[in-house]
Structure 1
Amino acid sequence: MTASDSTGRDERRVTLTRDSEGHYTVRNDRGGSVTTSSGTDELSPVELLLAGIAGCTAVDVDTVTTRRAEPESFEIEVSADKVKDEQGNHLKDIEITFRVRFPDDEGGDKARAILPSLVRRSHEEFCTVSRTVMLGADVTATIE
């Protein structure tokens, strides 16, 4: 659950618990969960970041285009180069590729017409995940 207070703060939170060595479950306050690990078939933490970008921009674009036409196909691929350099481990050159097809009718034409604008606005304004990556955010760690 998110909590807005009088300062306008809208906190988001997840909690990770260790299931076994190298295997973890991440839960939100609403009861949703996802497992993660490294070196297995599960999504790695880096892939979860890319999935967050894909999911965030998908919601922005799908919500509006679907009001005009149900897509025949809707796929977003997010890729990046993982590098280790003088700044440590990080991702470079994150690319988001939309593969969206709409029916060949009036509704599909309307959805296709607004698609470029929605993709641009998601990238430049709406998608909290990619905007945070692009703008940067302070990250702190504490031990309790």
Structure 2
Amino acid sequence: MSTDAPDLRSITLTRDSVGRYTARNRRGGSLTVSSGTEELSPVELLLAGIAACTAVDVDTVTTRRAEPDSFEVEVTADKVKDEHGNHLQDITVSFRVRFPDGDGGDAAREMLPKLVKRSHDEWCTVSRTIELGTAIEARVE
């Protein structure tokens, strides 16, 4: 696969110390990930990716109607180990969004369920990829 593809997404992960890593994107953003510390674990990053992806979809449209008083997305999942190895199941995305009183807030509240569904069914690349499934190639260079 060419790294010059116009829509290629990538991160580079470097080791900081045992069990602690920094992920960096090409734009200069970074995030530390670890296991067994207060920092986000790889599984939590996956859940955060689902939450952030769908939040962006919903927030972008509803905020055109009204600025939310509160906006929270929680993603939960059960981690299991079975004949398929370690994986997550029963992933649930819960939106807790409050809009102010008034016409704008009413419009945003009315469209919220439709936007959450549309994000889930069409727009959110992260959750769509998980639901549809895609092969992951692991290689040593």
**2:50 alignment counterpart:** 53
**1:70 alignment counterpart:** 67
In 1, distance between residues paired with 2:138 and 2:4? 21
| Cα deviation, residue 4, structure 1 | 4.3
- Unpaired runs of 5+ residues, structure 2, are none
Q: Identity over aligned residues, as a percent? A: 72
**2:91 alignment counterpart:** 94
* TM-score, length-scaled by structure 1: 0.94
1:31-75 CA distance string (max 9 Å, x none)? 000000001100000000000000000000000000000000000
Question: Matched residue pairs, number?
Answer: 139
Find 2:132's aligned residue among 132, 135, 141.
135
* TM-score, length-scaled by structure 2: 0.96
**2:25 alignment counterpart:** 28
Secondary structure of 1:68's partner?
Answer: coil
Secondary structure of 2:61's partner?
Answer: helix
| Cα deviation, residue 86, structure 1 | 0.2
In 2, distance between residues paired with 1:40 and 1:56? 25
Secondary structure of 1:11's partner?
Answer: coil
1:69-123 CA distance string (max 9 Å, x none)? 0000000000000000000000000000000000011100000111011000000
Secondary structure of 1:81's partner?
Answer: strand
| Cα deviation, residue 28, structure 1 | 0.3
Letter in 1 for 2:137: T
In 1, distance between residues paired with 2:100 and 2:39? 34
| RMSD after superposition | 1.1
Letter in 2 for 1:140: E
Detail structure 1 runs of 4+ shifted over 2 Å in the superposition.
2-5
In 2, distance between residues paired with 1:54 and 1:3? 28
Secondary structure of 2:33's partner?
Answer: strand
In 2, distance between residues paired with 1:134 and 1:113? 27
**1:126 alignment counterpart:** 123
Letter in 2 for 1:127: C
Letter in 2 for 1:13: S
**1:14 alignment counterpart:** 11
